Structure 1
Amino acid sequence: MIIVTGAAGFIGSNIVAALNARGRTDILLVDDMSDGRKCLNLADLDFADYLEYDDLLARVEKGDDLGAIDAVFHQGACSDTTEWDGRYVMDRNYRYSKSLHDWCVARGVPFIYASSASVYGMGPDFVETRAAERPLNMYAFSKFAFDQYVRAQAPTVNSQVAGLRYFNVYGPREQHKGKMASVAWHFSGQIERDGECRLFEGSDGYGAGEQRRDFIYVGDCAAVNLWLLDNPRVSGIFNCGTGRSQTFNDVADAVIDWHGRGDKHYIAFPESLVGRYQSYTEADMGALRAAGYDRAFCSVAEGVTRYLDWMHATPAAG
């Protein structure tokens, strides 16, 4: 059995889909279904059982035996970067992760979890070192705090513990995220409704739409997770990006090219984001490559094409 928390979410459901593609259906899905719209991410997937997020925590903290577990993919979290209730975020992201980590370590179960590139704050360095880490909101701090815990425990841990710092992920099964969905999702909707993509004007020395991010296709994120499953001797905290920043204009151009119509419209940069906006991110992929991962990552043009092909073949994805 494989456990996937956050299984109805964006990256979690793509991990389940990737496991299904391998013929694995012995999967225990774990999520919080307060937002029932997320069930659409699971409607075409195969699994063995489902458990509510809080129910798993209760069983783990009691030390229950859940049977033979091959691995835990821990993707579930409060991912709203605008949530400032620190007690809630730390309970949901830090305490939960610690409890599940300790349960896995005590049983020798591989534990592969979602960290975040948000721990780097404004950068300018995006490498897995303490000096580069400066979280700017509660979500980022909760991820940073758990990474710190993992580092402190590592010398006494004999089983796999691997964290992935996801950069700007886009792709299938994110439609439930609303305002937190990727710019690729938003741009496609804007083209369909209004015939134009809306991008920010210049900021931080970058021209209009020329702010740069490391955009990674969600299928590549799932592939890295499954590679870790196949390589249980690999432990550590790793960036999960492409290693190549691209502009928001690149994303808009890829969306416009796919639709065969549309323009770009630049809007004033919001005052509320001045000093709080990442105008540049680019993952240093040296650690993951050194660990042995050698698969290529999609460019924005490749990933957006795959994404929009999927979106328009899947009625519930709009």
Structure 2
Amino acid sequence: MEALRGEYLTMGYKDVVFDRDAVFLVTGGAGFIGANLCEALLKKGYRVRCLDNFSSGKPENITPFAGNPNFTFIKGDIRDLDVCMRACAGVDYVLHQAAWGSVPKSIEMPLLYEEINIRGTLNMMEAARRQGVRKFVYASSSSVYGDEPNLPKREGREGRPLSPYALTKRANEEYGRLYSKLYNLDTYGLRYFNVFGPRQDPNGAYAAVIPKFIKQLMNDQRPTIYGDGKQSRDFTYIDNVIGANLKACQAPSAAAGMAYNIACGARDYLIDIYYALCRALGKDIEPGFGPERKGDIKHSHADISMARGMLGYAPDYDFARGLALTIDWYKEKL
């Protein structure tokens, strides 16, 4: 697989330590990223409160944590401020992952995305402020770069959003900036670049490309690539995202109120990834091709120097290693 790669350092999150009585709230904790965050925190021995309404998260993602005395589940909706207040009570760190994803789906349902991603996130920030939360870390997205053509993508050089989803994430960042400036709530936005890994849903029309391709190839189905396959992405393994969240919880207040690229600082072409999956799974299936999807960004490649300098972030897994681990997980689960 031909790849356009940058450097990465091996630091990870294993060395990140908090007070033993620290309490974390993970919103969207039954989702792909949220459940992996819950698992990592529980393995480190911390108390974890999970908030989810199962609109996109799955109960089976958190079932393994049910017997852990450090795990508490709250079924609730971030659109309800009272629920957010209750969830934030006594919490030190909020890791806000709850949102509706998918660029194409947001184009179909812009009002729902505004309601969940903007108002819901504002509810969470307000609840965190009122309840005295120490750090508020929230999921943003590389989609905020919109039509800005230059590579690598660099904070402070954003274009116009290309989808309602991207616009909701940009609004989240502006609220994060204001809550840090006006209310002294330390907020840290994490612009995730194409996160993949275990627990990611391979099903549905809007499923992420890597798990969807893996499942289809394992079932001897012909995957469809939307576009010509020459689009490139800075795919980011889930453990890098976990590390970024925990590093942000320890970041100084001087780093608050800003949003940071969270990626590998590299990019790979989609067609190359497809054939790499074929080789890894022992399949000889040519892909189909469909029209480009509205709102998609053609190329994605992150400059991670700001996150490295301000948060101490450095990706522990490059794309090839993360992909191998992901394939192994789906082979066992599917």
Q: Tell me if both proteins adopt one fold, taking TM over 0.5 as the criterion.
A: yes
SS at match of 1:164: strand
| Contact 1:199-1:266 within 8 A present in 2 as well | yes
Task: Give the letter aligned to residue 134 of structure 2.
Answer: V
Counterparts of 1:25-174 in structure 2, within 5 Å, are 26-34=47-55, 38-45=58-65, 46=68, 47-54=70-77, 57-59=80-82, 67-81=89-103, 82-83=105-106, 84-106=108-130, 107-125=132-150, 126-129=153-156, 131-174=157-200
Could you tell me which of 217, 241, 245 is aligned with 1:225?
A: 245
Distance in 1 between residues matched to 2:201 and 2:33, nearest whole Å: 12
Q: 1:311 to 1:188 in 2, by over 3 A?
A: same
Q: Secondary structure at the match of 1:30?
A: strand
Flag the 1:51–1:177 CA change in 2: closer, same or farther, 3 A: farther
Mapped contact 2:88–2:128 kept (Cα < 8 A): no
Q: C-alpha offsets along residues 218-240 of structure 1, whole Å, 9 cap, x if unaligned?
A: 12111111111233544221011
User: Would you say 1:240 and 2:262 are equivalent positions?
Assistant: yes
Structure showing greater relative contact order (alpha-carbon pairs closer than 8 Å, 6 or more residues apart) = 2
Distance 1:269 1:86, change over 3 A: closer
Residue 257 of structure 1 is matched in structure 2 by 279
Q: Say which of 289, 298, 315 aligns to 2:308.
A: 289
Aligned residue type for 1:223: G
- C-alpha change, 1:257 and 1:110, in structure 2 (3 Å) is same
- Secondary structure at the counterpart of residue 49 of structure 1: strand
Q: State the alpha-carbon separation in 2 of the partners of residues 74 and 66 from structure 1.
A: 11
Counterpart in 2 of 1:12? Answer: 34
> What is the rounded CA distance, in whole Å, between the counterparts of 2:237 and 2:171 in structure 1?
26
**Structure with higher helix content:** 1
Q: Any conservation in 2 of the 1:74–1:114 contact (CA below 8 Å)?
A: yes
Which residue matches 2:323? 304
Matches within 5 A, 1:258-277: 258-259=280-281, 261-263=282-284, 265-270=286-291, 273=293, 276-277=295-296
Q: 1:200 to 1:33 in 2, by over 3 A?
A: closer
Residue 74 of structure 1 and its aligned partner are, at CA, apart by: 0.6
Residue 295 (structure 1) shift: 2.7
1:287, CA displacement in angstroms?
1.2
Q: TM-score, normalised by structure 1?
A: 0.85
Q: Deviations over 1:179-229 (max 9, x none)?
A: 333222122122222266543563xxxxxx332111111121111111112
Q: Taking structure 1 as reference, are residues 117 and 296 closer, same or farther at Cα in structure 2, changes over 3 Å only?
A: closer
Deviations 1:240-283 (A, max 9, x none): 11111111133223322322x1235243441x63x743221111
Cα separation, 1, equivalents of 2:271 and 2:317: 17
Q: How many residues align?
A: 302
Q: Structure 1 226/254 Cα, relative in aligned 2: closer, same or farther at 3 Å?
A: farther
Q: Which amino acid aligns with 1:97?
A: T
Q: Aligned pair 1:212/2:239, yes or no? A: no
How far apart are 1:15 and its partner, in Å? 0.7
Q: Which amino acid aligns with 2:178?
A: A
Instruction: Give how far 1:127 is off.
Output: 1.9
Aligned-partner Cα distance in 1 for 2:324–2:87: 44
Letter of the 2:112 partner, please give it.
Y
The secondary structure found in structure 1 opposite 2:77 is helix
- Residue type of the alignment partner of 1:54: D
SS at match of 2:80: helix
Aligned counterparts of 2:301 and 2:271: Cα–Cα separation in 1: 16
Aligned to 1:205: none
Q: Cα 1:141–1:292, aligned 2, differ >3 Å: closer, same or farther?
A: closer
Letter in 2 for 1:21: K
Match of 1:184 among 197, 210, 215: 210
Unmatched 5+ residue regions in structure 2? 1-22
2:4 maps to: none
SS across alignment from 2:138:
strand
Determine the C-alpha separation between the residues in 2 that align with 1:214 and 1:153: 30
Provide the rounded CA distance (Å) in 1 between the counterparts of 2:34 and 2:268.
25
In 1, the alpha carbon distance for the partners of 2:326 and 2:192 equals 18
Q: 1:8–1:31: 8 Å Cα contact kept in structure 2?
A: yes
Q: Is the 8 A contact 1:29 1:50 kept in 2?
A: yes
